[in-house]
Structure 1
Amino acid sequence: MAVNENDKNIIWHHSTIKKEDRQKLNGHKSLMIWFTGLSGSGKSTIANALQHELYKNNVSVYLLDGDNLRHGINSNLSFSSEDRKENIRRTAEIGKLFVDAGIVVLAAVISPFEKDRLNARKIFPAEEFIEVYVKCSLEECEKRDPKGLYKKARNGEIKQFTGIDQPYEEPENPEIVLDTNQLSLVQSVELLSSYIFEKVGLKQNAKE
């Protein structure tokens, strides 16, 4: 949990090396790129492909995948509303450390509730948080069902599953919307990468 602001015995220790110094060393600005959307919408696939595109263009980048985090730091959390809130808080705080280290961090998490996503946004300077809504209809996500989770949820084997017995609140003001009902993986990455390279202050030069 967050430290109580009224605790006088806990004092912030200031580092002589600043975020700007790390960004200068890496040769680009750092950002949090937050992917939200239903399971099966393409968040992790797009984020992973974007990570490769940034990496081959000499961008220091790291992907925080929601499922992977639940194997480690978030392994003690359920899928209740309260635990989802804590899941998002931890992910955002980890991402903040990466951004402070001068790294472009990609977070691919369902993050179904608008309030939780807004709380994540609040811990970053406005220009360092980019929300990407990977939009896809529930019908299409169920049709894809890459992990077989929708089938299990429909059969009652999984409870509190987003889109089935737990709501997904669409982002109100995302920086980018990727409609994966219409866009291919290549098109999605092209749209994102051109936007992000401008944000981090680099030109996209590398070719496969």
Structure 2
Amino acid sequence: MRNPIRLKNLRLRFLPYFLIGIAVIVLRRPPLEGFVLGTPFLLAGTALRSWAAGHLVKNDSLTMTGPYAHLRHPLYLGTWLVATGFALILGGYISLAVLAFVWPWFAFHYFPRKELAESMRLSALHGEVFTGYRAAVPALWPRLRALDTARSQAGRRDSRTEGGWRLERYSDNNELGTLLAIAVALLLLSIRAAWAGP
């Protein structure tokens, strides 16, 4: 299993986010109701990301199993749920301010840019298979009935995407590092909530 702490996650461009996170944890004592409201979003997002990462095979094969049979971008939806959960945990005006920034930024800047780039890349790699997949499976709002991957692949089988969820894929997609970051942030927020400071 790979080291969950990857250097790519410690790049200088992420430093402002780490510093803002530390400042919020130090300066804001989360209320109990924030945990009640935010934890379900946080858990749902973490579970969705974990489920997706265990199925995702990047580039070589088009992943259409697990959550990818219901929506094209489960990792992005999971990230949005996690961010919403953390924002709600903070409580009060801070929650509103974070949500007022995060939701529009995600909906109108981050996701459209990523979706366009990924669609172009996957279309170039997988052609008609991706075109059919994109037409059948929504981007972020999950379809209730899973895509019939056997029919959508027109009989093409790929052992790399078969066999369900795999720990090696989860590790290759660096999801353990994400899980650790979420757990540490939640632990620090819990400690801060219990601490009787300002």
Indicate whether the TM-score tops 0.5.
Answer: no
Structure 1 or 2: more strand by fraction: 1
Instruction: Give the structure-1-normalised TM-score.
Output: 0.27
Structure 1 or 2: more helix by fraction: 2
Instruction: Give the structure-2-normalised TM-score.
Output: 0.28
- Structure of greater relative contact order (alpha carbons < 8 Å, 6+ residues apart): 2
